[in-house]
Chains A and B, each alone.
Chain A
Amino acid sequence: MTSITLRSLRKEYNGQVAIPNLDLDIHDGEFFTLLGPSGCGKTTLLRMIAGFNSIEAGTISFDDVVINDRSPAARNIGMVFQSYALFPQMTAAKNVAFGLQTRNIERAESIRRVEAALESVHMAHLKDRLPGEMSGGQQQRVALARALVIQPAVLLMDEPLSNLDAKLRVEMRDTIREAQREAGITTVYVTHDQEEAMAVSDRIAVMSMGVVQQVGSPAEIYRNPANRFVAEFIGKTNLIVRDLHQRDGVTTLDLGEGVSVDVTSTIAPGVSGRVQVSVRPEAVRAGGSGLQAEVVEETFLGSHSQIRARLSTGETIEFLEFSRRASLWERGEKVVLQLDTEMLTYFDAETGASIMQGAKL
Chain B
Amino acid sequence: MKGPGDRFDGWTSVAVALTGGYLLLVIWPLVMVLINSFAGGGEFSLAGFEKFFSSRLYYGTLTNSILVTVCVTVLALVVAFPLAYFMTMFRIGGSRSIQMLILASMMSPPFIGAYSWILLLGNNGMITKFIEDTLGFKPPSIYGFAGIVLVLTLQLVPLIFTYLMGAWRTIDVSLLEASESMGITGWRRAVQVISPLLWPTVLAGSLLVFVRAFADFGTPMLIGQGFRTVPVLIYSSFVGEVSIDKSFAAAVSVIVIAVTLAVFLLQRYLVSRRTFSMTALRSIEPRRLPGWRGVAVHIYVYGFLTLALAPLVVVVFSSFRKTLYGQLVDGFSLDSYVDSQRDILRYVGNTFGIGITALIILVVIAVLVAYLTVRRKGALSGTLDTMTMVPYVVPGLVIGIALVTAFSQGPFMLTGTFAIMVIALAIRRLPYSVRSTTALMYQLNPSIEEAATSLGASKFRTLVRIIIPALAPGILSGAILSWVTIITELSTTLFLYNTSTQTLSLGIYAEVIRGQLGTAAALSTVLLVLTMLSLILLMKLPGGQKELRV
For B434-463 the 0/1 string (1 means CB < 8 A from A) is: 000000000001011011111111100100
Beta-carbon nearest neighbor of B468 in chain A? A89
With a cutoff of 8 Å between Cβ atoms, the chain B residues found around residue A75 in the complex are 454
With a cutoff of 8 Å between Cβ atoms, the chain B residues found around residue A79 in the complex are 450-451, 454
Complex Cα distance, B451 from A84, in Å, reads 9
Q: Does A303 contact B (CB under 8 A)?
A: no
Contact between chains at B453 and A81 (CB < 8 Å): no
With a cutoff of 8 Å between Cβ atoms, the chain A residues found around residue B448 in the complex are 85-88
For A54-77 the 0/1 string (1 means CB < 8 A from B) is: 101000000000000001111111
Q: Does B265 contact A (CB under 8 A)?
A: no
Q: Does A229 contact B (CB under 8 A)?
A: no
Contact between chains at B451 and A89 (CB < 8 Å): no
Cβ contact of B470, chosen from A52, A78, A89, A98, cutoff 8 A: A89
Q: Does B70 contact A (CB under 8 A)?
A: no
Range class of the B interface residue count: 20 to 34
Contact between chains at B455 and A85 (CB < 8 Å): no
B12 to chain A, nearest CB (A): 15
Pick the most buried of A76, A84, A86, A87: most chain B CB atoms within 10 A of its CB: A87
Q: Does A325 contact B (CB under 8 A)?
A: no
Contact between chains at B447 and A72 (CB < 8 Å): no
Complex Cα distance, B453 from A272, in Å, reads 55
Complex Cα distance, B377 from A14, in Å, reads 13
Contact between chains at A73 and B457 (CB < 8 Å): yes
A163 to chain B, nearest CB (A): 12
B459 to chain A, nearest CB (A): 9
A54 to chain B, nearest CB (A): 6
Cβ contact of A85, chosen from B1, B451, B456, B469, cutoff 8 A: B451
Cβ contact of B1, chosen from A15, A71, A84, A102, cutoff 8 A: A15
Complex Cα distance, B455 from A100, in Å, reads 8
Complex Cα distance, B78 from A236, in Å, reads 63
Q: Does A37 contact B (CB under 8 A)?
A: no
Q: Does A281 contact B (CB under 8 A)?
A: no
Contact between chains at B466 and A85 (CB < 8 Å): no
With a cutoff of 8 Å between Cβ atoms, the chain A residues found around residue B454 in the complex are 50, 72-73, 75, 77-79, 147, 156
B8 to chain A, nearest CB (A): 13
With a cutoff of 8 Å between Cβ atoms, the chain A residues found around residue B455 in the complex are 73, 78, 98-99, 102, 146, 150
Cβ contact of A87, chosen from B1, B458, B461, B466, cutoff 8 A: B466
Q: Does B329 contact A (CB under 8 A)?
A: no
Q: Does A232 contact B (CB under 8 A)?
A: no
A213 to chain B, nearest CB (A): 27
Q: Does A83 contact B (CB under 8 A)?
A: yes
Q: Does A28 contact B (CB under 8 A)?
A: no
Q: Which residues 87-137 in A have Cβ within 8 Å of B in the complex?
A: 87-89, 98-99, 102-103
With a cutoff of 8 Å between Cβ atoms, the chain B residues found around residue A76 in the complex are 456
Q: Does B540 contact A (CB under 8 A)?
A: no
For A6-30 the 0/1 string (1 means CB < 8 A from B) is: 0000001011000000000000000
With a cutoff of 8 Å between Cβ atoms, the chain B residues found around residue A14 in the complex are 1
A340 to chain B, nearest CB (A): 46
Complex Cα distance, B461 from A330, in Å, reads 68
With a cutoff of 8 Å between Cβ atoms, the chain A residues found around residue B461 in the complex are 102
B457 to chain A, nearest CB (A): 5
Asked, given contacts A12-B1, A54-B2, A102-B461, whether A85 binds B445 with beta carbons under 8 Å apart, the answer is yes
Complex Cα distance, B465 from A146, in Å, reads 16
Q: Does B472 contact A (CB under 8 A)?
A: yes
Beta-carbon nearest neighbor of A15 in chain B? B1
Contact between chains at A85 and B470 (CB < 8 Å): no
Complex Cα distance, B458 from A74, in Å, reads 9
With a cutoff of 8 Å between Cβ atoms, the chain A residues found around residue B447 in the complex are 81-85
Complex Cα distance, B469 from A24, in Å, reads 40
Contact between chains at B445 and A83 (CB < 8 Å): yes
For A349-360 the 0/1 string (1 means CB < 8 A from B) is: 000000000000
Asked, given contacts A81-B447, A85-B445, A89-B472, whether A73 binds B1 with beta carbons under 8 Å apart, the answer is no
With a cutoff of 8 Å between Cβ atoms, the chain B residues found around residue A87 in the complex are 448, 451-452, 466, 469-470
Contact between chains at B470 and A72 (CB < 8 Å): no
With a cutoff of 8 Å between Cβ atoms, the chain A residues found around residue B458 in the complex are 73, 102
Complex Cα distance, B4 from A14, in Å, reads 12
With a cutoff of 8 Å between Cβ atoms, the chain A residues found around residue B451 in the complex are 79, 81, 85-87, 143, 146
Contact between chains at A103 and B456 (CB < 8 Å): yes
Q: Which residues 134-169 in A have Cβ within 8 Å of B in the complex?
A: 143, 146-147, 150, 156
Cβ contact of B456, chosen from A52, A81, A89, A99, cutoff 8 A: A99
Beta-carbon nearest neighbor of A99 in chain B? B455
Beta-carbon nearest neighbor of A13 in chain B? B1
Beta-carbon nearest neighbor of B445 in chain A? A83
Contact between chains at B450 and A52 (CB < 8 Å): yes
A67 to chain B, nearest CB (A): 14
Complex Cα distance, B1 from A105, in Å, reads 39
With a cutoff of 8 Å between Cβ atoms, the chain A residues found around residue B450 in the complex are 50, 52, 72, 79, 81, 85
Beta-carbon nearest neighbor of B469 in chain A? A89
B440 to chain A, nearest CB (A): 12
Cβ contact of B457, chosen from A56, A85, A102, A156, cutoff 8 A: A102
A185 to chain B, nearest CB (A): 14
With a cutoff of 8 Å between Cβ atoms, the chain B residues found around residue A83 in the complex are 445, 447
Beta-carbon nearest neighbor of A149 in chain B? B455
With a cutoff of 8 Å between Cβ atoms, the chain A residues found around residue B4 in the complex are 54
Complex Cα distance, B448 from A15, in Å, reads 28
Beta-carbon nearest neighbor of B465 in chain A? A98
Complex Cα distance, B450 from A314, in Å, reads 53
With a cutoff of 8 Å between Cβ atoms, the chain B residues found around residue A85 in the complex are 445, 447-448, 450-451
With a cutoff of 8 Å between Cβ atoms, the chain A residues found around residue B452 in the complex are 87, 98
For B102-113 the 0/1 string (1 means CB < 8 A from A) is: 000000000000
With a cutoff of 8 Å between Cβ atoms, the chain B residues found around residue A103 in the complex are 456
Complex Cα distance, B4 from A263, in Å, reads 54
B111 to chain A, nearest CB (A): 40
With a cutoff of 8 Å between Cβ atoms, the chain B residues found around residue A146 in the complex are 451, 455
Given contacts A56-B1, A72-B453, A73-B454, 18 further A-B contacts (CB under 8 A): A12-B1, A14-B1, A54-B4, A73-B453, A78-B455, A81-B451, A85-B448, A85-B451, A86-B451, A98-B455, A99-B456, A102-B456, A102-B457, A102-B461, A143-B451, A146-B451, A146-B455, A150-B456
5 A-B pairs whose Cβ atoms sit less than 8 Å apart in the complex: A12-B1, A50-B450, A81-B450, A89-B472, A98-B465
Residues of B within 8 A of A (CB): 1-2, 4, 445, 447-448, 450-458, 461, 465-466, 469-470, 472
For the complex of A and B, list the 4 residue pairs with the smallest distance between their C-beta atoms, beginning with the closest.
Answer: A99-B455, A85-B447, A79-B454, A81-B447
